[in-house]
Structure 1
Amino acid sequence: MFKNLISLILAGFLLAGAPALAATTPELDDPVSEKTEQRDPVTILISIDGFRPDYLERGITPNLSALAASGIYGPMRPSFPSKTFPNHWTLVTGKTPDHHGIVGNTMEDAARPGEVFKMATQDPFWWNQAEPIWITAEKQGIRSATMFWPGSEVDFNGVRPADWWPFNQKLSNDRRINAIVDWMRRPADIRPRLVTLYFDTVDTAGHYYGPAPGEKLHAAISAVDSEIGRLKQQLDNLDQPVNFVIASDHGMTETAPDRIIYLDQIMARDQYRVVEDGNYLAVEPLEGNRDAVRAAFLQPHEHMQCWDRQNIPPELGYGTNPRVPSIFCLVETGWVVLQDVPEWMTGTGGGHGYDHRDPDMMAFFLSSGPAIRAGGQLPAFDNVDIYSLVAKLTGVNPVAGDGSLAPFEPVLKP
């Protein structure tokens, strides 16, 4: 399942076009030492996909721990569903998936019969229910640059980030850092004031090896921590002040081959269409078969509960958007529901997509920089609030959304 998702990402993003100025990535083998001006702060929003809050407590993240000690950090509730694309779009729009329209990693829309949104889809139709912060920034004359972020390649009526890179999982983390440092070495008039950066390797390791302490997972965590430390050092050498906002999209929980719900045991597969399976289930009945499909799925099931779209519990904040599937099933944390079990699912691994209030699904947050007081650990808050913080730090007049600046106001410097 996870390998298939990665394949979809690679296939689409590698085919996406990139502007000419995104084609060069300098290799910065030597420390940067260029101190030529008094620089305004830049805001860098970093996603560490799949980074659980407790990863900071394992003694393997000296750079992140130092940033946390100088600023604020803590657990953060993701939006439902606790999947990658819905929550990345929430972080940069300030709206829940039910309101911004990216309701799953895979989804359908009745306005586009026969089409399926997948993680490589760049058609603006699927993204334009909400405006991401880099588009708002560009409209307000604030230059932005995106070193990977879901949706950052989408054209919003001719507006894109001034600099953007199409996602390429083969581009190493160190080269991603080099590109950002190169942007910061530019003259002030073409230097971005808002930057996004995305790391996928911790999530990948979590899926394959699970979130428990282990050599391979910890190697991935340590490598990202080291790159963030290198980024900070390079920018310090430039005398470039930075307000870091570092967040994950969701947590991770352990999965295993003995915790699988087999769809063929519920109903024959030729009776309905699976939009998405795995850590939750999205189902559309075939024409003329709605009553039979509802009867099969809406009855009680061990380790899984299903609802019609309009009956999804309100505490999930999910179900008003017409892209939410007709029948939605929430799986017990740690279980998976599958029509076909992937060959690689032979041992302990990791997954997400479950109830966003589950402790294992909690995301991570950290912010540090000249605009942030050393405030220690914050109480848990909702990830829709990150948008307001990034807008405040960048000087963007934000679009109205579902979040608030309130969790951060006590620690913001005048």
Structure 2
Amino acid sequence: MLIVGGGISGLATALLLSRQGVEVDLVERQERVEALGSGITLIGAALRVLDTLGVYEECLAHGFGVTDFETYNADGTLDSSFPLPSPFGSDGPGMLGMMRPVLHRILLDRAAVEGTTVRTATSPVRIEQDADSVTVEFNTGETGVYDLVIGADGFRSTVRQLVFGRMTPEFQGQGILRVVLPRPAEVTAEIQFHTVGDVFIGFTPTASDRMYMYITFPVEEGYRPDRAELVELARKHIQPFGGVAALIRDDIRDPEQINYTSFETMVVPVPWYRGRVVITGDAAHCPTPHLAAGAAMCLEDAVALAEEFATAPALEKALTAYNDRRYPRCKFVVETGNQLSYWQTHPDTPGADHGGVIAAAFEKLAGPF
């Protein structure tokens, strides 16, 4: 099989299929298989899959296990706190914060141990198929013939473009700054502040000495701040907030600490396959980060694909079962994130219930898939 994309979805899928004895060729368009240097929040659904992959303990050792969720008023006073139940029914964390590059390295190393072949600076430029195989021409001039091609190449998926055609994402009118910071000793929970106007902030511990802050705010389509602006932009947006936000404000010093992106979302209509080509992860469904469920959905996709390939009597039945298991759940995550994004950029919306929607979503995602 060919897997296109060396992100979370591609690496997890490669790991599981290689473990089943499938010969897996993974290609990545970038020169290296790596991720942006910002943090990532992994909810309980993601932790379950990391355990299935056999990397949970290693991730926990290189991240920060979170057992509580705290909300704060704008002045920094505590508003509420509740425990995050462990997905394993134990005293373990219900959430894990870690740095994205560390997670990628762990998944890449384990995929290699399981037998996955990885080629970088390689991307498909042409995909043709018949009833029995898929022929892929790469930018390197090489050609390969495969039983199946899995497009796990992210939101700007080349595989999706080549096989499914052009699809237009939905711009949400909101951007995010992710800022890597020293972790004050008192920050041990997942922290979110009530919005001030249309600005929302939160904090996730990622290591014993590190955390990341996220700041969301309305933006026009096409907006992208200059790197030289990033420090003052982050400081300006957190100026109205007290507590830990005020404590760390002067620690925002270098644009290299900060990553900016805007929110564009997509749910590709089912089926997520055409013949012997299937898409997965952000190539099929890309949410906002409001539920911290993007990585979890990518990881669950990998498990569902591998399980269906292992048990279904025929390829099309496996791919149909994969669609049936994944589409409603992933669509729910995207639509719920879009709703939360809208409420944050339209703070006077009557009946907006951020807390209720998030609590209901977490309960839903804690269930089986």
Query: Which TM-score applies when normalising by structure 2?
Result: 0.32
Higher relative contact order (CA 8 A, sep 6+): 1
Between Structure 1 and Structure 2, the one with more strand by share is 2
